[in-house]
Chain A
Amino acid sequence: MKYYDKLIFECSREGRCGYSLPRNAFPAAGELPAALRRQAPLALPQVSEPDVVRHYTNLSQMNFGVDTGFYPLGSCTMKYNPKINEEMAALQGFQGLHPLMPARLTEGACKVYEEMDKALAAITGMYKFTFAPCAGAHGELTGLMLMRQYHINRGDLKRTKVIVPDSAHGTNPASAAVCGLEVVEVKSLANGRIDVEALKPLLTDEVAGIMMTNPNTLGLFETEIGTIAALVHAAGGLLYYDGANMNPLMGVVRPGDMGFDIMHLNLHKTFSTPHGGGGPGSGPVGVARKLVDCLPAIRVSAFHGNFGVILRAYAYILALGQEHLRKVGQYAVLSANYIKESLKDVYKLPIEGVCKHEFVFDGLINDGAHDDVPGATTLDVAKRLLDYGFHAPTIYFPLLFHQALMIEPTETESKETIDAFIEVMRKIAAEAAQDPNILHDAPHNTPISRPDETTAARNPILKYQENS
Chain B
Amino acid sequence: MTLGNTFLFLRNAIRLNFGQLRTFFGQLRTFFGLVALLVVWEAIARFAFTQFYIVAPPSAIVVRIIEDQALFGRALSTTISEALLGFLFGNLAAIVLAMIVVVVPRIERLAQAIVLVVFCLPLVATGPILRVIYGPGWGPQITLAALSVYYTTFVPLVVGLRAVPPSWLDLIASYGRGSWTVMIVVRVRASLPYLIASLKIAAPAAFLGAIVGEFTGADRGIGVLSIQAMRTLDVDGTWALATIASVVAIIGYILVGWIGRALSIGDPPVLLVTPMAKAPKNRWLKFSLMIGAPILSILVILSLWQFSMDRLELSRFFAKRPGDVWAYLVTGLHAAANRDELFSALRETLVVMVPGYLSGLALGAGLAAVFCMLPAVEKIVSPIAIALRSIPIVVTAPLLVMATGRGSLGMVSIVAVMIFFPTLVSCLHGLRQAPGQVIDYFDSFRVPPLTKLFLAQVPSMFPSLFASARMAVPMAVLAATVAEWLATGTGIGNLMALTSSTSNYNMLWSCVTVLTLVSVAGYSLVAMLERLVLSRFAPEQVTI
A binds B: no
Chain B residues within CB distance 8 Å of chain A? none
